[in-house]
Structure 1
């Protein structure tokens, strides 16, 4: 069997802003991309997002994704399945269409080569300090999302046995081995899938809970790094999603690719849009290009 390539296969979940999505796809070159576009995205937007993409981009079957919906987790799982079947990448990165890399491909490869078999994921076993009431109600009750509103059936249900309920980010950079472990659990435990269909914001808890449960994935505690490779510009206000990044964020953003002291770098960031962030992304591209050029000059014979 060939040795897996030290590179991420990138699962990108998108629903709007085709210019930004295509810019992201280009910035991820030469990594393989598995692109999911929300089935509710208008045909003209979907066409602008997907027509004429390079061969390293594969389209996932479209699902009705959206704010807080179970289908976000389902699309992520489908991305793992396609990435493992069609590439030999050592890791799988889960991004949204409003993300962007802060590092060159060589820098990302070097980070992954130094952490083969390990995932980058910050885990928050319940009680989660940032979730209301520690987050227990997300699981104890059945939920539905409707027009960015939470609908909850106020009848408690039994929590799954041998599962360490854990929160984490939708954005992940996990090892091939851990992605396969998630698929194995999902395929073997339909009862867990049924349970998470009605958990609140399943994509923030399904994969972290599976991986962080020793009964399901033994050894994960010693095989992951408690670090997020994403810079996210949370501003301290109570918002349902992070603020858009602009040129005012350039200094903080460009500091993150190296890490501070012994800290690991943040090689991705979010969130960006064509309307608000094009000038900032021009600066990012210029900085990344200069770093890559200097590295080539240093290593040239």
Structure 2
């Protein structure tokens, strides 16, 4: 049944660490959660992650997600479809199991209400400054991921003519209207789905490319904010993925609550794990709880 009071539906893509995933689900209360667990995850881990979850959590059909696989984008799309069908949420957030909220539910609702119909994601039309060669080879050639190795067929293929190839993080908050637009393109354009099945790391480009293409989703450029709602603990070194966070990162993580900014506040952060981050998350919970006792201040678009 729809959830009329929910401003946000959360799609959570998880692989491991059931204790962290369950802590994340609890921290997202009362928002509805659509949880995807990698089909390669052992049954005992899956059971520990999913047994006895509250009724606001819906389990998505399991896919073999993993490093650089198209199925990551496919799970995200399935989450959009379920969220739109089962809630009337104004926005959909895409998180991993290693993410965590930095705000109360009331703060999240207020921030989204201040930006009705807006999506929050940073987009990089090609050439992408952080991708080797601008990122063109991710699409020009067919790719497969095998044991965290890239396999590339060195035969170029034609690029779709009506698509603005664009990069961006899989972690994002999209408006209900933009989530529906992505589903419409998926249903109308099987040729694009076939193309992206062999693109490299499709979850970093499929949704941003669909939304960023005026021929597919007119008006998106004016209907989104070039801002991520995630704080990520990059340390300035070249890394393929963000570092795990611990108590040594508490100062950097928590200072966003006191530092003035012209941008919307960070509502989430990553990456956390039970073995590395429990003490830090205890600090986060305490800080969020204390802040939740004060009146909510919101930014406006």
Equivalent residue runs for 1:219-230 within 5 Å: 219-230=219-230
Q: Residue deviations 1:216-261, cap 9 Å, x none?
A: 0000000000000000111222222100001111111112356633
Q: Please list the CA deviations of residues 94-114 of structure 1 after superposition, one character each: whole Å capped at 9, or x if unmatched.
A: 000000000000100001001
Distance 1:27 1:290, change over 3 A: same
Q: How does 1:100-115 map to 2 (within 5 A)?
A: 100-115=100-115
Contact preservation (8 Å) 2:11, 2:79: yes
Contact 2:73 2:203 in 1 (8 A): yes
Tell me, in whole angstroms, the C-alpha distance in 1 between the residues paired with 2:258 and 2:39: 38
8 Å contact kept, 2:3–2:87:
no
Residue of structure 2 in register with 1:170 after alignment: 170
- Distance 1:220-1:6 versus aligned 2 partners, 3 A rule: farther
| Deviation sequence 1:10-37 (CA, Å, 0-9, x none) | 0000010000000000000000000000
SS at match of 1:150: strand
Q: What residue is the counterpart of 2:286 in the other structure?
A: 286
The alpha carbon displacement at 1:4 in A equals 6.2
Q: What displacement does 1:3 show?
A: 11
Q: Which runs of 5+ in 2 are unaligned?
A: 297-301
Decide whether aligned partners of structure 1 residues 169 and 269 sit closer, same or farther in structure 2, where only a CA change above 3 A counts.
same
Q: Which runs of 4+ in 1 moved over 4 A?
A: 2-6
Q: Is the 8 A contact 2:6 2:32 kept in 1?
A: no
Q: 1:255 to 1:49 in 2, by over 3 A?
A: same
Mapped to 1, the partners of 2:184 and 2:147 lie a distance apart of: 33
With structure 1 as the length reference, what TM-score do the two structures score?
Answer: 0.95
Whether the 8 Å contact between 1:100 and 1:270 is mirrored in structure 2 is yes
- Distance of 2:64 and 2:170 partners within structure 1: 17
Are the structure 2 counterparts of residues 284 and 67 from structure 1 closer, same or farther at C-alpha, using a change threshold of 3 Å? Answer: same
- Report the 3-state secondary structure (helix = DSSP H, G, I; strand = E; otherwise coil) of the residue aligned with 2:143: strand
Q: Size of the alignment, in residue pairs?
A: 295
- 2:299 matched to which residue of 1? none
SS of residue in 2 equivalent to 1:10:
strand
1:8 Cα deviation after fit: 1.1
Uncovered stretches (5+) of structure 1, i.e. residues with no partner? 297-301
Q: CA RMSD in A?
A: 1.4
Q: Which residue of 1 aligns with 2:15?
A: 15
**Kept in 1: contact 2:12–2:96 (CA 8 A):** yes
